[in-house]
Amino acid sequence: MLSPRIALTCALAFGAPLSSALAQDTQRFRTDKIEVIVETVARNLENPWGLAFLPDNRLLVTERSGRLRIVDAGGNPSEPIKGLPRLSVRGQGGLLDVALDPAFAQNRLVYLSFAEDRGEGRNGTSVARGRLSQDGTALEGTEVIFRQEPSYAGTHHFGSRLVFGRDGNLFVTLGERNDLRDKAQNLNNHLGKIVRIKPTGGAAPDNPFLDREDTRPEIWSSGHRNVQSAALHPTTGELWTVEHGARGGDEVNIPQKGRNYGWPVISYGVHYSGQKIGEGTKKTGLEQPVYFWDPSIAPSGMAFYTGDQFPAWRGSILVGALAGKLVTRLETNGNRVTGEERMLQQLGERIRDVRQGPDGLVYLLTDSRNGRILRMKPAT
């Protein structure tokens, strides 16, 4: 495997905004492979976090402040959908990711991850599901199907992405809540873990720790810091993730059943204070990342590109960056990352989520109080 420490040549994107009156809504950028146009689909969203495409191609979008909306073809957000669970909107918490049931066309089930208010100032990442009403105005029969334990009074590192596996079970990525980082190494809690649950809740069959009394049976993998990017590989069906490091050490991983990914025992970054993390970068029994960034780009949201609109990107991973204010394109060969291209830096936007649309175009969420849904398409 090519060491991720090897310096890779980055083709940095550059571009100039259009000179028309629509410059703020439509910009043209040159990338390593193709010239692209980035256009605004919708605006005035408060810190949008997660995005899903309904069968009629309307967009279902979460706002961290606690609203779930449908955006129509004209870019108009609906009134907030009713029937959401009890949220804790503090710090990095609030309404997070959204995913449709694989059989949504038949059952209209929507899954949400969120910071749940547990009372007495405590909170934790939870997953709920409800049935989207026929008129799209409410989630009906909403129920919480998973709760991260233990709850905590902090406001950081909730995770959390939702990804359905090909077997119909649901992966949920969970942060280690920052102050409780050492618990990421302990299997008797859900902190710093990826869990795999049935769509109705409860541990999925064949999870690695079902027969151990001292563990949480929902756990799939451990030793994670704060995973805010996750997607299935289009060929293998394996889960890939990208997680936040501290100062450096953002990681691409392929979380395998029962394995430990090291946080906070090993890391390629350092604490924000500059102090060393754990025992170094490697330790027997702890997994190495497929790729890492140092310095950090603060990754959030990812998609494998499989469409026809950008044929030169097929097989690449597109990852949003918050602190980096860019989209990075990772070229892959099997389970290796072989190159990186950094794009759209001139937008100057924190990119919270990245999705491939059913039209083969790339959709982005910008993380701000006046957040936007952006669409990236070929310039020709």
| HEC assignment per residue over the chain | CCCCCCCCCECCCEEEECCCCCCCCEEEEECCCCEEEEEEEEEEECCEEEEEECCCCCEEEEECCCEEEEECCCCCECCCCECCCCECCCCCCCEEEEEECCCHHHHCEEEEEEEEEEECCEEEEEEEEEEECCCCCEEEEEEEEEECCCCECCCCCCCCCEEECCCCCEEEECCCCCCCHHHHHCCCCCCCCEEEECCCCCECCCCCCCCCCCCCCCEEEECCCEEEEEEECCCCCCEEEEEECEEECEEEECCCCCCECCCCCCCCCECCCCCECCCCCCCCCCCCCCEEECCCCCEEEEEECCCCCCHHHCCCEEEEECCCCEEEEEEEECCEEEEEEEECHHHCCCEEEEEECCCCCEEEEECCCCEEEEEEEECC
157 has catalytic annotation: yes
Q: Rounded distance, CA 108 to CA 129, Å?
A: 10
Give residue 4's pLDDT: 42
What is the per-residue pLDDT for 25? Answer: 83
The answer, yes or no, to whether residue 106 has pLDDT greater than 60, is yes
Where on the phi/psi map is residue 154: left (φ > 0), alpha (ψ -120 to 50), or beta?
beta
What pLDDT does residue 24 have? 55
Tens digit of each residue's pLDDT (9 = 90 or more) over 225-243 = 999 999 999 999 999 999 9
Q: What's the CA gap between 186 and 299, in Å, rounded? A: 25
- Which of 157, 190, 224, 244 is catalytic? The answer is 157
Angstrom CA distances, 354 to 39, 117, 175, stand at 14, 27, 20
Residues 6+ apart with CB under 8 A from 83: 130, 138, 139, 140, 142
Predicted local confidence at residue 366, as pLDDT: 98
Cis peptide before 55 (omega within 30 of 0): no
How does pLDDT run across 26-79, given as a tens digit for each residue?
Answer: 999 999 999 999 999 999 999 999 999 999 999 999 999 999 999 999 999 999
Give the integer Cα–Cα distance in Å for 303 and 287: 23
The mean pLDDT of 195-212, rounded to a whole number, is 97
* pLDDT score, position 38: 98
Q: Is the pLDDT of residue 17 over 90?
A: no
188: its two tokens: 């008797």
What is the distance of C-alpha 7 from the center of its chain? 25
Model pLDDT, residue 52 = 98
CA nearest neighbour of 113 among 93, 133, 131: 93
Mean pLDDT of the chain: 93
281-318 per-position pLDDT tens digit = 999 999 999 999 999 999 999 999 999 999 999 999 99
Over residues 71-92, the pLDDT tens digits come to 999 999 999 999 999 999 999 9
User: Does 328 score more than 80 pLDDT?
Assistant: yes
What CA dihedral angle connects 334, 10, 327 and 252, to 10 degrees?
A: 40
Matching residue, tokens 């690695």: 208
Q: What is the largest CA-CA distance in the chain?
A: 65
- Rounded Cα gap, residues 86 and 340, in angstroms: 40
Q: What architecture does CATH give domain 14-378? A: 6 Propeller (2.120)
pLDDT at 14 over 50: no
Evaluate if residue 333 carries a pLDDT over 70: yes
Distance of alpha carbon 364 from alpha carbon 376, whole angstroms: 8
Q: Which residue would you say has higher pLDDT here, 191 or 13? A: 191
Q: What was the pLDDT predicted at 11?
A: 34
- pLDDT greater than 90 at residue 179: yes
Q: Which of 245, 258, 244 is nearest to 287 (CA)?
A: 258
> What are 154-173's pLDDT values in tens digits?
999 999 999 999 999 999 99
